[in-house]
Structure 1
């Protein structure tokens, strides 16, 4: 009963939320399960044997399997929801959102969902053909391997500092014409101040510069400009990169140019460039400077 709650607690922690004491409430079913097995151990051997043979194996063992499956289903769903919400907040508030997407968590949850589905099939078949522990053992082995995978990925990326994000989806403000003009003035200020060149520039940083808060700034940008903070910053970066590419590489690779404009990830650069321009970086360069030498670009491993 501990598997689901602990995975959920891990996802909450990884996505920047502080776990309070209420997390222990999620472990109450585990406490009941442990207490049950302790009572079985303390019972006289004869009584314990009779209970296990006549009650536990025919009824309680199957009921526990159903409860564990239900618990895992609920907590996997809750973990998915939290991860989706976290990624949405990243898109709204961070210009370097690619660095905090944690794809291994998504893979881990998907693989656990497959494992859980298989377990459900076993439980349904078990109504007609009870499976022994040995026949279930490979499922437990898969879960152990998944936990080892999660531990390794967590160790590998353990130095990542997760940004603190605020849920601004429920904040609504009314925009009048002056607010629309304010959004345009902020856009001009961001452009002229070149804040977009800083890889870690965030919505919170912008709000601090403007003497406002993230909710107000986000709403004004979204409604005044029709785009969120992340899109605005990356458009400025891509537009600047395009302007530089039209002048030629000047001895630099495309990736070097991209990194000098605020991108800190090859994947983020390629994805945003294609979304905004409609072409890959090399396709755009070929269309603007047909006779350029792209050897350095290819050697650095960018998308072609």
Structure 2
């Protein structure tokens, strides 16, 4: 008899909500490629939950031939989570299909057995599938998720470094969501591994004992869907273009690019132009944009700034903005709003302004203003 009780209803509601969020992600206007990677991951996790949803409701008691329904795609979790991370930050994912060969094998291990009579499936499950194939897939899935999570984490850390080196407003685009969803997947991985170990220790555990695990997977489905949807419209700058190639540098600069080149002297010349022309006032200034203005490429510019100032592009530009703002705050009678002053010196967001000011001034903008006012009154 089919009966949806608390266990099956809980899993069903979470799966349905997750699938609705996956549909929204699939049709999102922004970050479309990333949205579709994440939508597929949500669908794969929801599929993993489905046998337990219907099992707790009595489907397998009523229709035992449903066993071996090909709904397990755990070997797709790793490639999908990495694909989402890479697409979100603009990294290319060349030749994605080889990464899905293992999950294709996993699908066939179920799909090829599914049409057989129940007696044959029960025999196969007892002799081969339960003692050998299923544990092998579980271990492979855990290893795969761990490996792809590590790769996604490296991509995220690389992206944060790239933002810091190439943009002055990188704090506005720091995809901490990637860090958070990788942490959520790691937690799910550890819980899953714990249940697998418990099963090995006590083989008498049945699928009712697995309910807390699949509640956890249900929560993961909802978390991924809501978090992904919240960040689906964020215009994360793309790393795909990367730095300008050295071949693109103008001939006069290329001729001067010898091993004996004085990068500190060259950097000082670039810093002088940045100061004389107040290039730091441009709120849309990026490392690539500044390189074009100075007639060089991003590799040489970063090297020159580092040699001359001991800082990267972000620090060089924001330090000058903060210094100009400090000068404005010290002017008698200056009463403009702090954010208006920040925009006037080149910042384009409150977050990047507050972070840079505290980093270079050692205190918040409001504290600095108060300090300046006290000095003027003294």
| 1:58 has 2:131 as partner | yes
Gaps of 5+ in 2: 1-74, 247-256
Measure the CA separation in 1 of the matches of 2:258 and 2:322.
Answer: 31
Residues 142-221 of structure 1 aligned to structure 2 (within 5 Å): 142-165=216-239, 178-221=262-305
Measure the CA separation in 2 of the matches of 1:249 and 1:157.
Answer: 42
Name 2:180's counterpart in structure 1.
107
Name 1:236's counterpart in structure 2.
320
Consecutive aligned runs of 4 or more in structure 1 exceeding 6 Å deviation: none
Paired residues of 1:92 and 1:229 also in contact (CA < 8 A): yes
Paired residues of 1:240 and 1:261 also in contact (CA < 8 A): yes
Shift of 1:286: 2.0
Distance 1:146 1:260, change over 3 A: farther
Shift of 1:146: 3.0
Name 2:89's counterpart in structure 1.
15
Deviations 1:151-207 (A, max 9, x none): 333333333333233666xx9x87757432221121122223333223331111011
Paired residues of 1:175 and 1:223 also in contact (CA < 8 A): no
3-state secondary structure, aligned to 2:311: coil
Paired residues of 1:4 and 1:75 also in contact (CA < 8 A): yes
Q: Tell me the TM-score normalized by structure 1.
A: 0.86
Name 1:297's counterpart in structure 2.
none
Measure the CA separation in 2 of the matches of 1:218 and 1:49.
Answer: 65
Name 2:171's counterpart in structure 1.
98
- Higher Cα Rg: structure 1 or 2? 2
Measure the CA separation in 1 of the matches of 2:215 and 2:375.
Answer: 57
Paired residues of 1:104 and 1:150 also in contact (CA < 8 A): no
Measure the CA separation in 1 of the matches of 2:259 and 2:233.
Answer: 41
| 1:263 has 2:347 as partner | yes
3-state secondary structure, aligned to 1:263: coil
Shift of 1:272: 1.7
Measure the CA separation in 2 of the matches of 1:221 and 1:7.
Answer: 36
Measure the CA separation in 2 of the matches of 1:192 and 1:71.
Answer: 54
Greater mean alpha carbon deviation, residues 62-71 or residues 229-238: 62-71
| 1:120 has 2:193 as partner | yes
Name 2:365's counterpart in structure 1.
281
Name 1:40's counterpart in structure 2.
113
Deviations 1:252-293 (A, max 9, x none): 22122113222233232222212211122222222211289x
Distance 1:137 1:219, change over 3 A: farther
Paired residues of 1:221 and 1:228 also in contact (CA < 8 A): yes
Shift of 1:132: 3.1
Greater mean alpha carbon deviation, residues 145-154 or residues 228-237: 145-154
Measure the CA separation in 2 of the matches of 1:103 and 1:249.
Answer: 40
Paired residues of 2:263 and 2:308 also in contact (CA < 8 A): yes
Name 2:97's counterpart in structure 1.
24
Paired residues of 2:274 and 2:280 also in contact (CA < 8 A): yes
Greater mean alpha carbon deviation, residues 122-131 or residues 11-20: 122-131
Aligned residues: 288
Name 1:301's counterpart in structure 2.
none
Shift of 1:243: 0.9
Paired residues of 1:14 and 1:162 also in contact (CA < 8 A): yes
Paired residues of 2:195 and 2:213 also in contact (CA < 8 A): no
